[in-house]
Amino acid sequence: MIVAAFPGQGSQTPGFLAPWLELDGAAARLERYAEAAELDLVAAGTEWDADRIRDTAVAQPLIVAASLVAWHALSPTERASFAGVAGHSVGEIAALVAAGVISDIDGMRLVGARGRAMADAAALEQTGMSAVIGGREPDVLDAIEAAGLSPANHNGGGQIVAAGASAGLAALAENAPRGARVIALQVAGAFHTPYMAPAAASLQTAVDAISSVSDPQLPLWTNSDGSVVSSGQRALELIVHQVQNPVRWDLCMTDFAERGIAALVEFTPAGALTGLAKRGLRGVPAVALKTPDDLATARDQLAATRD
């Protein structure tokens, strides 16, 4: 059993898309995606600097587009070999596409709308996010609450992301829980908290505009509670719910483990979820598709499962 995992915001780096453009059909695919997302994806993924691609309205469609380019680099047979799909935060839109719930073009329209709506919401107040790594979970949650923040991402592997007002994040950094480190994240808002409530209406409008929705063709885990969602309509409802509620990647990994996952393959821009898997899914191989050179390792894992 191998799970396909799609990363969330913050995993992008300048120029990371360049090697993927060398694949046959990738440039043409990205042109179609760029039109749907209303963003120059090729320039964003090859030329723009770190500050420019940190913009929420840029980062979200760029990450999902890159994940889908890597997904389509595998053959239909290879893609069908996965036992299920899951995405972290905005990566859930790539997972919806991979599971066959919506088309890739509808997915890119949706993520373009999501990125713009969340960027607009983030601009209303000075907010941000910080990762709290280590420490006892009850102590970490108490410290987050004491600073007037929310636990936005329960990532597993000893990592919880706090989100909220900039002053609260500074207070948390100055009073880190015992045994924990607080690391400011390069994102522009308090995602997955009530600060994102203004984005929900715009996102719902984008969801309502999708004309063709199917039930998942592969098991699809939700960040809402780590369960497998069997209804395409329900999966889209949770995409809207997700923007102002916590990401429970820890519960996704718990369910992976309970179902006996054999390996995890993280699609580009990969690294964050494989890092969490090393701590939260100890002993489970995790493949990070950072460049096309890594496709061979993913194929080997899939072939071993089929054999």
**Active site residues per annotation:** 89, 192
β partners of residue 143: none
β partners of residue 265: 4, 287
Dihedrals phi, psi of 66, to nearest 5 degrees:
-65, -45
Residue 221 contacts by C-beta under 8 Å, 6 or more apart in sequence? 3, 84, 85, 86, 95, 227, 228, 229, 252, 255, 256
User: Which amino acid does the sequence have at 161?
Assistant: V
| Closest of 88, 67, 11, 95 to residue 249, by C-alpha | 88
Using CA of residue 153, residue 159, residue 165, residue 166, what is the dihedral sign?
Answer: negative
CA distance 97 to 89: 14
Q: Which three-class secondary structure state does DSSP give residue 163?
A: strand
Q: Give the distance, in angstroms, between the CA of residue 4 and the centroid of all CA atoms in the same chain.
A: 12
| Closest of 8, 275, 273, 271 to residue 129, by C-alpha | 8
CA distance 15 to 118: 24
Residue with tokens 């996010």, as numbered in its chain = 129
Using CA of residue 100, residue 257, residue 66, residue 206, what is the dihedral sign?
Answer: positive
